Structure 1
Amino acid sequence: MCAGDRMAFVDDRTRLLLMHFVSTCWLLKRSGVAAGIIVATTNASFCICLASVPARENNMKRLLCLLFLLSFGIPRFVTASDSLKSAQLMPESTIVFAEIDSPKAIIDLVLKHPLREQVENLPEIRALLNGPQMEQAKLPLGLFEAQLGMHWDEAVAAITHGGLCVGVDRDMEGFVVLSQADKLQTLVKLRKFIFQLVPGASTENTPGNPVRKREYKGVKSYEIGGTTIAALGTTLLVTNKRALAERVMDLHLESGQECLATQPRFQAALQQRGEASAAWGYFDMVAMRDRETFAAMTAGKTDNIVAEFLLGGLLSTLQHTPYGVLNLEATAQRVAVSVSVPQDADWAGELREYYFGPGGKGSAPAPLQLEHTLFTVVAYRDMSQMWLRAGDLMTESANDDLAQADTQLTTFFSGKDFGEDILGSLGPQMQLIAVRQDLEDVLPRPAIKLPAFALVFQMKDPETTKREFRRVFQSFIGFLNVVGAMEGNPQFDLDMEQHGDAQLVTATYVPDQGEESSTKAKINFNFSPAVAFQGDRFVLSSTTQLARQIANIPKTQAAPTPGLNAAVRLHADALQRVLADNQAQLVAQNMLEEGNSKEEAEAAIGLLLQGMTFFRESSVKLGTTDGNLNLRLELQLAKEHPGE
């Protein structure tokens, strides 16, 4: 078959999928939209990655790309019986196991997604897809379809008809890929396609043949550059270790042997496979802790206070938990990944009680609900206990730095101990909120417009804490005025106000004479810092307006979610507006850093802003339920393009 005949296999449906994948990758590169990686993942068009390997490179790389991408689709739902069947062919020393089904369902999901057409119709994407990258992707795809004799998505469905799984073996330090095809003839065609990519390859052990034919207990296999490929009936076996291939063949030929499916930890993990999961994975944490590198990562001590704040409780759990389970969910509106590990509150002990609370019952507060919210962060952390126990929680060098900081902070707070008196006056429930500022009617107006943000705490002794924090805030503003005067910055004007039942102490920049109506003021004018005291609520805000907005929210707005330890939520619409507010500055920055012309920079930033309208929000949640510690990451897509 000539190249022209092969190209005939590439129809409009394939072109649309290729366009979607290439355009998403370009969007990531040019505009840095991290969320776009989800779209790229769900394409599952494996021959594109194959095409990215230049012809001059070793053809073995093409083979590895193919095998990797065959295992990269997001499947239909898997069942426990399917998982056990697959695990029966995995050695008992398997420490990582991941199972997926055919990528056909997710390919159909992408092709029929309501946002696909809008993405492809972006002018910048259209221009890109008429370039050489698209042409480069067509040839290997045509070769693949020609050899398999069917459209590429039908071929992938046939190769992975009964599911696909991947395992990593601890003892032999190798990997195994198993793919259940619809029939043996499909695997024969696939083998011929792979051999086409390897110059001089044949099925016989002839001189100069880069493929070595082997046989073990009647099972034929082919070794190409250290990678073994075999057909176990209609199951494709791929592994990088010959001994591992023979172990899998033994399990295939003789049932009833020790294997992954017979391991108690795997059996327990299988019960936590989500019913709505598109794919799932298992990790043997006991075996992983035996590895020197992993043991060092979970040694129990961190090297800075921020890492301890974020990860301390996770380290305590990873030191004891027997296994981990990963579940992946995908629909037209969202993609979610969750990781669960068994947890016992006693594992944290008194040392890290600050992280989960007494008996592991601590809960983060409900996030505040404000208009134009950019992001919210809520968490349960007893910062006073964390600070006071730092000597046992952190490394020696980190404690040296912390001791120096503690001395300086104690001086700043007029001799009061920072860990015991200052942090100890605040409750463990805290949150950070950021909102887009509406500066349209504000003068002077800063040229660069930043979001406003605020920290919200609960005071244990409101009357005492209010007096102390009010004094400290006023002293701090005075200090900033002294430093600002030396550096030529505008000065703050202090004030106090009563807003409902809240008392506010505010600071506002005084513009220089003649700058009162400026629309290109210094970045300083994004800030009008304030502290607010409302009952037992304490607010430290970057702007007076945000402090007032928070004071307007009833304290009984919502109760904490039981078991929720921490959560982050980012709203894409507000982020898009914040970037749009600073579009001129972003264009100038792009021209400076990327060396683009003004037109090119405007196109890149415009694409970034348009791309963000395809997303709704993203979130990360950490919590405990039913004896498990759960980490969930979720990306929600827009149901339809706002411009449609």
Structure 2
Amino acid sequence: MPRLGQRMRFGIVCGFAGLWLAWGVSTSLGADGGHASRWIAGDAAIYLELSHASPLLDQLLSDKYQNALTALPGYVQTTRSKTYKQAIAELEHVSKQLGTTWQQGLRDLTGGGIVLAVEGEPGKSARPILIVTPTDPAFLTRTNQTILDRAREKANSQGKADPIQSTDYRGITGYEPGHGAYAIVEGKLVIVDRLKTLQQVIDRVLDGAEAGASLADDATWKARREQAGDRQAWGLVRLDRLRELDPKRFAFKGDPKLPATFLFGSWLEVIRKADWASAALSWTDAGLAAELTLPTPPSGYPDALKGFVPPQGRGATQPVNPPGTIASLSLWRDLASVWEARADLFPPEVVQGLAKLDGVAGQFFGARDFGTDVLGALGDEWRLVIARQDHSSLKPVPDMKLPAFALVVDLKPGDNDFPQRLKVAFQSIVGLINLGGVQSKSPPLELGSETVADVTISTARYMLPKTPADAKEPVHSRHNFSPAIAQVENRFILSSSVSLARDLIQTFKTPAKPEDRTLMVEANGRELADLVEINKSRLVMQNMLEKGHNKTQAEHEISVLTQLLRYLGLARLSVQDSAEVVRLKLNLDLAN
């Protein structure tokens, strides 16, 4: 399937309307007979719509969103460029002629909605179709004529030929502005890749699509559209159709890699086998919500993937959120089953590499078999936590303040020897770190222990020097780390810092119930922004060295990054595996 870049761009550069339309994509939800989906072929591979353009435009044009954009690489430079300023000047000039502003003009042009679809046949160029329904068709006509007059006036003043060719087809005027073609058809703006596609759309509108020939009659499209409900944006991708059009690009095959397979094993299978994928989006002052849905494989998952999909009604527990949490992840994974099926999941070279883990298990876990006796002793609930530390309590206080992180895994009951083996393994690893530290002249880690809420924490702290360090010398970042382990009932904690281990012990005093989701992730932009603020002086210095900025420029860049992180607020991601579909949800509680 050929790339659509050049042919899609013409809709943005063809003039004032194109620049307005570049802000968003939506669709009219008026009477079914005039719905833009009836102008799209039933076998279209991609369909996108935005049913409520104004709320989305309000968010895009809001001060808080525009301010957040300044943190994106190159955004400020783009807005200061000559090309950008000329485009804005052109927008304002045409807006004035129309007696409006470009912001209000955009709302009027897209008030009825926009549909974007991609059609195609194997071996032929793709056919993108953009259909825009204005609030007032008369305003669309005036806008088009104003753009035409402006373009021809400029060309004439420069002694150039008419830049926009016009062609009449069945009583409708089509325009070719260099790349692609467009026309106003029954009060809607239709923008396509070439004149032939435009004529096909006009034929469908004037002749009426045969029963079952339009996308609006497609059973999959109707079912998914009804399921989406009243969303600002919604889309459907026919993955089976994409595979027909370009098998090489859309077969989604390749050598399975260990990290990708471990994290996404069953979901990769879903993408390879799914016939369709639908997405929906809503954006309000409260935040942004997005959802992606794919069907499960028709014949079910192969046995090799049973370690990735929890039984119905089971799943991961809610992510833990000790004080200062930056990010928290909770994942359901039966690693013993994954290990058992490794020959079916990974290529031979990866399987050979995994075999070395049996040797590691022998060294650290008393000759236990890695699959049966190590992974088999672990539960299916895995949690990862990243949190800010109270750096003032660290001795010495490191110059670069890093967050703490912890891995929490459930232990299966009945194996009382395994927790002790984990403790011995922790001590052995600390010993190996100390041996390596001798060569780099690093201070050794001292083993110790403390008790919090009747739970014993095994600790390791870097030995303090006998004499105070030179105050002018930077304190090494290693002092962010004080490795610790602890066990709270059946939960084993491995933490990079004692303080986070303490907080997790208190958190686990209140048990959480399993949810019906396989993966849950939370990320707090405000907490991360606070960490950036704490390290601002070091980050400014690093920015000056790496990018050659002066201090003012570096401070501005770090401040903008902090502002963006605070704007993003709290993010929540979840994946639910049901018998019929896999549903991914993303929610952003944006800062007001």
Q: TM-score per shorter chain, which class?
A: 0.7 to 0.9
Matching of residues 61-460 of structure 1 within 5 Å: 62-63=13-14, 67=18, 70=21, 72-73=23-24, 79=29, 85-101=35-51, 103-109=53-59, 115=64, 135-136=85-86, 138-171=88-121, 173-195=126-148, 209-257=162-210, 258-275=213-230, 277-290=231-244, 291-297=246-252, 299=253, 302-343=255-296, 347-358=300-311, 360-404=312-356, 407=359, 411=363, 413-460=365-412
Q: Please name the residue that 1:14 is paired with.
A: none
C-alpha contact 1:84 1:261 (8 A) present in aligned 2 = no
Alignment partner, residue 560 of structure 1: 514
Q: State the 1:396 CA deviation.
A: 4.2
2:389, 2:499 within 8 Å by CA — same for their partners in 1? no
Judging changes above 3 Å, is the alpha-carbon distance between structure 1 residues 168 and 500 closer, same or farther for their aligned structure 2 residues?
same
Amino acid corresponding to residue 394 of structure 1 in structure 2? F
How far does residue 175 in structure 1 lie from its aligned partner after superposition?
0.2
Quick check: 1:456–1:537 contact (8 Å CA) kept in 2?
Answer: yes
Instruction: Tell me, yes or no, if the aligned pair for 1:375 and 1:570 is still in contact at 8 Å.
Output: yes
> Is 2:550 aligned against 1:608?
no
Shift of 1:90: 0.4
Structure 2: runs of 5+ lacking an equivalent: 1-8
Residue 505 in structure 1 maps to residue 455 in structure 2: no
In structure 2, how many angstroms separate the alpha carbons of the residues matched to 1:375 and 1:92?
A: 43
| C-alpha distance in structure 2 between counterparts of 1:573 and 1:389, whole Å | 41
Give how far 1:408 is off.
5.1
Aligned ranges for residues 488-503 of structure 1 at < 5 Å? Answer: 488-503=441-456
For the structure 1 residues 594 and 72, does the alpha-carbon distance in structure 2 shift closer, same or farther, using more than 3 Å as the test?
Answer: same
Q: Deviations over 1:523-564 (max 9, x none)?
A: 1111111111222111111012211221122454321222x1
Aligned equivalents of 1:407, 1:190: Cα separation in 2? 73
Matched with 2:5 is none
TM-score (norm 2): 0.86
Q: Distance in 2 between matches of 1:317 and 1:432?
A: 25
Moved more, 188-197 or 520-529: 188-197
Instruction: Confirm or deny: 8 A CA contact 2:384 2:407 kept in the other structure.
Output: yes
Where in structure 2 are the equivalents of 1:576-587 lying within 5 Å? 576-587=529-540
| C-alpha separation in 1, matches of 2:155 and 2:556 | 50
How far apart are the structure 1 equivalents of 2:309 and 2:223?
24
Q: Does 1:545 align with 2:499?
A: yes
Aligned residues: 568
Aligned with residue 598 of structure 1, among 551, 562, 566: 551
Matched residue SS, 2:251:
helix
Residue 89 of structure 1: how far off its partner (Å): 0.6
Q: Does 1:463 align with 2:416?
A: yes
Q: What's 1:51 paired with?
A: none
Are positions 1:522 and 2:476 aligned together?
A: yes
| Letter in structure 2 aligned against 1:262 | D
Matched residue of 1:142: which SS?
Answer: helix
Counterparts in 2 of 1:623 and 1:64: CA distance versus 1, 3 Å:
farther
Q: What's the offset of the Cα at 1:315?
A: 1.6
Aligned-pair distance for 1:66? Answer: 5.3
The 8 Å contact of residues 354 and 386 in structure 1, kept in 2 or not, is answered as: yes
For 2:24, the aligned partner's letter is: G
Conserved 8 A contact 1:375-1:434: yes
Report how far residue 61 of structure 1 moved.
Answer: 6.6
Does the aligned pair in 1 maintain the 2:17–2:144 contact within 8 Å? no
State the alpha-carbon separation in 1 of the partners of residues 590 and 274 from structure 2: 34
**Offset of 1:336 from its aligned partner?**
1.8
> Is contact 1:530-1:542 (8 Å) kept?
yes
Instruction: Give, in angstroms, the shift of residue 184 of structure 1.
Output: 4.5
Q: Distance in 2 between matches of 1:223 and 1:567?
A: 49
Give the CA RMSD over aligned residues: 3.4
